Amino acid sequence: MSDAASRLRRLAAFLSKSLLLMATAMSLVAVLLIIVYIARDAIPFFKLHGLKELFASAAWFPSGTPPEFGAWAIFVGSALVTAGAVVVAVPLGVAAAIALSDILPYRLRQAVKPVIEVLAALPSVAYGFFALVIFAPLLQQRGGSLLAVAAWLVLLPLGLLLILIVSGAATRSVRPDVAPAARWILAAALAAILLRGLLALGSLLASLTVASGTNALNVSVVLGVMALPTIVSVAEDSLQAAGRELREGSYALGATRAETLFKAVMPAAGSGIIAAVILGVMRAIGETMVVWMASGNAAQVPQPWYNLLSPVRTLTATIAGDMGEADQVLGSSRYHVLFALALCLLVISLLANLGSEWILRRKQRRLGGAK
């Protein structure tokens, strides 16, 4: 090969490589542009109104004279709805991930995968439509009894299990010949207390009247289901990544499957599960359509603050809902306050993302180091 041709070839290789790099840098550019352009339109609001009004006041009257932009209730709404979604999604998601990684046989696992994929693929507006048109009326008409049934379904099995364990542990030091009898008597007494409590709770819940089906509870449940696929798939990956040797070592020491999972696998996969939860939370915070359609959109702090049956308003729904009126008044505080809210949302999601990234990467390094 001649000298000139090889130089030409090296030049072409260099050029093509830098072109590839430039195209790859697109995502970097996009992230920077998003931050810059959201911040650029948010700053005028902070200049005009300062930080205090947005975060410290709960008076949200953007079209009043003078307009008030206290977004405290909106932050509370977002937090409440997200917390509700976490309560629904995390136990369910982690349990399902355990089933998928350790318990179900291969065939069944393959059958469940599409369920997760479909749940993840369904458009958010379809979830929102379900929440608004089907779930909200149901909640409004039969909310109390639905809650009572749900409480029974969740608390009865968990309570019975707890009773068996507690009664076993409490009677361990009793004389062996009377221990079984003592254990069953204790269990029966505890079960009676549990049933009494459940009956009271059930009738209390059943007597609740749900004033409006579009409320924080509705949105929490639907958001929880939406966040499930993320949590399940990331948690399952990290459970799988804990490895076969770990499990076999634990089994060889005589541990049951549950003990292996809780004492050996979960500690090893813990950071991955935390990352899964963070990603699920982000999905819930950033979701717009479900909360816009079914949260009731009332900018008020619920009374008392944990009252999930009251309508709430979230950051995303406020941005989506108010921009329709605000973009006619381009450049006003009303327009800029929405960018300020978006900036808060962006900061939250950036922090959460970096956090989960850091956790996953640290784990990777640790696992890599162990090898």
Partner 1 sequence: MDLRTRKLFDRSLTGVSVMAVALMALALAILLAPIVARGLGAFFFRATSEFRRFNLEQFDRGDPRAVAAETRAVAAARRPVYDMLAAFEDELAELDTSRRPALRKQLREVKEGLVELLGPPPGEIAAVMLRQQYGQTRWDRARGKLAGILFAVKWDYSDPSRMGRKVLVPRRSAFAGTRLEPLFPYLERNLKAMLRPRPVFYWRFLADRSLDSHFFGGIWPEILGTVYLTLGAMLLAIPFGVIAAVYLSEFAAAGRVVSLLRVCISTLAGVPSIVFGLFGLAFFINTLHLSRSKSVLAGSATLALLILPTIIRASEEALKAVPRSYKEAALSLGASPLRMVLTVLLPAALPGILTGIIISMGRAAGETAPIIFTAAVSVGQPLKLWETLSQPTPALPWNIYNLATEHQAVDEIRHVQFGMVLTLVLLVLLLNLAAILIRARISKKMRG
Q: Which stretch binds partner 1 (CB under 8 A): 53-61, 65-73, 337-345, 363-371?
A: 337-345
Q: Which residues are within 8 A (CB) of 172 and not within 5 positions of it... i.e. 6 or more apart?
A: 179
- What torsion, rounded to 10 degrees, do the Cα atoms 95, 97, 102, 106 define? 120
The SS3 call for residue 253 is coil
Q: For the window 273-312, what string marks contact with partner 1 as x by the rule CB under 8 A?
A: ------x--x--xxxxx--xx-------------------
Q: Is 75 in the site for partner 1 (CB under 8 A)?
A: no
Residues 199-228 as x/- pattern, contact with partner 1 by CB under 8 A = ----------x-x-------------x--x
The answer to whether residues 74 and 299 touch, using CB atoms and an 8 Å cutoff, is yes
Q: How far is the CB of 149 from partner 1 (least distance, A)?
A: 14
Instruction: Yes or no: say if 309 and 208 are a contact pair by the CB < 8 Å rule.
Output: yes
Q: How far is the CB of 307 from partner 1 (least distance, A)?
A: 18
- Residue 365 makes contact with partner 1 by CB under 8 A: no
Contacting residue, 58, 112, 155, 182, with partner 1 by CB under 8 A: 112
Residue 49 or 183 with smaller CB distance to partner 1: 183
* Residue appearing with tokens 């207390």: 193
Q: Contacting partner 1 (CB under 8 A), which of 148, 299, 342, 359?
A: 342
345 binds partner 1 (CB under 8 A): yes
Radius of gyration, alpha carbons of the chain: 27
Closer to partner 1 by Cβ: residue 199 or 258: 258
Structure tokens at 270: 């813990």
Our finding on whether 252 is near partner 1 (CB under 8 A) is no
Q: How far is CA 197 from CA 21, 156, 188, 200, 282, in A?
A: 64, 10, 14, 5, 35
Q: Give min distance, CB of 65 to partner 1, in A.
A: 26
Q: 199 or 253: whose CB is closer to partner 1?
A: 253
Q: Torsions phi, psi of 179, nearest 5?
A: -60, -50
**Identity of the residue, 21 or 66, whose beta carbon is nearer to partner 1 in the bound complex:** 21
String of DSSP letters for 226-267: HHHHHHHHHHHHHHHHT-HHHHHHHHHTT--HHHIIIIIIHH
**What gap in Å lies between CA 50 and CA 47, rounded to an integer?**
6
Binding window for partner 1 (CB under 8 A); candidates: 92-100, 144-152, 197-205, 240-248: 92-100
CA–CA distance from 212 to each of 158, 296, 309 (Å)? 30, 8, 8
Cβ 116 vs Cβ 282: under 8 Å: no
Q: Does 322 bind partner 1 (CB under 8 A)?
A: no
Interaction between residue 121 and partner 1 (CB under 8 A): yes
Restricting to residues 161-190, name those near partner 1 by CB under 8 A: 161, 164-165, 168-169, 172
Which residue, 178 or 258, is less far from partner 1 as judged by CB? 258
Specify the residue, 59 or 129, whose C-beta has the smaller distance to partner 1. Answer: 129
**What is the smallest separation between the CB atom of 18 and partner 1, expressed in angstroms?**
10
How many chain residues interact with partner 1 (CB under 8 A)?
95
3-state DSSP assignment of residue 90: helix
Shortest Å distance, C-beta 340 to partner 1? 11
CA geometry: angle at 143 spanning 140 and 147, to 5°? 160
Largest CA distance in the chain: 97
Which residue's CB is nearer to partner 1, number 30 or number 56? 30
Work out whether 92 is an interface residue with partner 1 (CB under 8 A).
Answer: yes
- Does residue 264 touch partner 1 according to CB under 8 A? no
Instruction: Give the burial string for 150-170 (b: 16+ CB within 10 Å, else e).
Output: ebeeebeeebeeebeeebeee
